[in-house]
Amino acid sequence: MNVTFKLTGMLVILLIGVVLGLQTAERGIAKVSGVPQQQPQTFYIKQVDKGQMEIAVMGKNVQTASPDQMVNYVSNMGMTLGGSVKNSAKVLVEWVGGFFEP
């Protein structure tokens, strides 16, 4: 079971790395080609109207009434993972900062 958790963790890290790499490559191509009017292909979030947002993930458009509303289980999982990463980073920074307190 320990191997399963390690493998799952490594796959999640790999997936995050691939998505970040796609975004970085896309920004680099836009700088070189000089075509900023195109919408990004990886993630694109645009506020259309009051509270109405247009979200495109990997080229698929998703509409939501408010940013707090969950669209599906994938977005719910992403929000949970993001909150976990945020809280973990906060705890880590506070722990490291504890070494420098008088």
Residue ranges covered by each domain of the chain: 2-71
Give the torsion through C-alpha atoms of 82, 86, 87, 90, to 10 deg.
170
What is the spatial distance between Cα 52 and Cα 37, in angstroms, rounded to a whole number? 22
The pLDDT assigned to 64 comes to 56
The pLDDT assigned to 71 comes to 60
CA dist 34 → 21, 25, 38, 43, 47 (Å)? 19, 14, 10, 19, 24
Cβ atoms 57, 74 nearer than 8 A: no
Of 24 and 26, the one with more pLDDT: 24
User: Is the whole model's pTM more than 0.75, yes or no?
Assistant: no
Tokens linked to 43: 């993630």
The pLDDT assigned to 40 comes to 56
Query: For the segment 25-83, what is each residue's pLDDT rounded down to a tens digit?
Result: 888 877 887 765 655 566 666 666 666 767 777 666 666 555 555 466 677 788 889 89
Cβ atoms 55, 61 nearer than 8 A: yes
